[in-house]
A and B are shown apart, each in its own frame.
Chain A
Amino acid sequence: MTATASYLSIRDVNKVYGGQHGEATTALKSISLEVKQGEFLAILGPSGCGKSTLLQIVAGLIDGTAGEVVLSGKAVTAPPPEMVYLFQQYSKSLLPWRTVEQNVALVFESKGMKKRDIATRCVEYLGMVGLAAFRKHYPWQLSGGMQQRVAIARALAAQPRLLLLDEPFSAVDALTRIELQSLVLDLWGRQGLTILLITHDVDEAVFMADRIAVLSSRPSIVEMVVDTELPRPRDAMGTRELPRFLQLRHELVAHLLNRQNAGRVDA
């Protein structure tokens, strides 16, 4: 099921801002990660450590200052067709003048498909996220959680092999978050996707991922990578009560807190 060669290679990625007219700040010092196909990798780190920047470099949306990203053996310089990015501000990624269905349809337009076929496919994907009944609604008529599900449906419709999620659940309430996490895991399992998830929520990282890469604060490096070693399928309640879950969670939180405190002492 998993290939031995890396599906996605992130090598020595470095990102420096400014420098021309002001002080140069290094967001990412050197990030290296190897991701296997079908893997679920979470990237954990404090706010402002450059996680989003890293993800955007991997997505080909921005260029790194040094280093490279290789996907399926090809260097990434622009958003690859097999990749879809889910933004943190999901409501801003939905087109407000289009209905939910039309938003998903965006993926199928310019592919020369018949209108009826597009509609069928849209309903199919909306059905996967449980929003088939809302397909004629407009995004601003839906709750935050439902908007995020539309974004997920649209992402799936693009039939990606790599899904990049930028703190996708940070702006919804706790219950909705649990629902959406289960939904994503379910889809990941059934579609065989490779997922990179950016989060600052330790709970989320441990619950969802196969492996967790912990980033330091700026200038960021990969401080450590741990295997979650938790059984699949994950269960919203059950998995969270497993000893391994609690232990790993404890370790990570302690690590993050220590570093935070250490940072305070130094400063």
Chain B
Amino acid sequence: MTQETKFEDDHYAIEALNLRVYYGEFLAIRDVNLNIERHKITAIIGPSGCGKTTMLRSFNRMNELIPTARTEGQVLFEDVNIYDPDIDPVRVRRRIGMVFQKPNPFPKNIYENVAWGARINGYKGDMDQLVVESLQRAALWDEVKDKLRQSGLSLSGGQQQRLCIARTIAVEPDIILMDEPASALDPIATLKIEELMRQLARDYTIVVVTHNMQQAARVSDYTAFFMMGEEREGYLVEYGPTKGIFTNPKDQRTEDYITGRFG
């Protein structure tokens, strides 16, 4: 590999090459090629059932938790195909964290929620400091600093989601995958999460699935638009800078979708 191409590759955080995901016989996404830019927010949008979440979860091999799931093609992370048979999915998930649609803190206290992931990953530094820093970076510290020993489930939905983000940051991943992180939250909590995502983008690469096109337009740098084919299989229609996708889409289907003609 030459110096130039390596440099060229280098500004992608993660790349999908001819990615196909099957659930049993059902093809969920077909031949996706997608390069995620480093330290940017990439939004994945599209109608329901078009494979957005499947796409997101194939970036850290979470699809494998579904027994019938099968993946073809490659996902390159630091020049390594994470689907190589000798790659440990546990290590992949430590580098590529995930925040889920429904806030799912552990039924433990707030401190433990943040510390647990770091501890099982063998974090050797000052745990108190890591917890404080992670909560600060997740913009939750001021609200919980007096009740670190209370259950994580005692927080409001928006706070719980930021706790989940803090927990993910504490493991110090390179990429954070977010699956509709604000869809279960009210508008004010949603706004907070979006602000937080902008702050986090300075240090992390973020890939976010969202149903909400306004959210994608507000928060993301790049947008990937997915659609469903005739066999209900998802595929990538258009991908590019968010501004371009929303103001001047190249594909007619993208334009129809973002102007609300269907979906």
A complexed with B? no
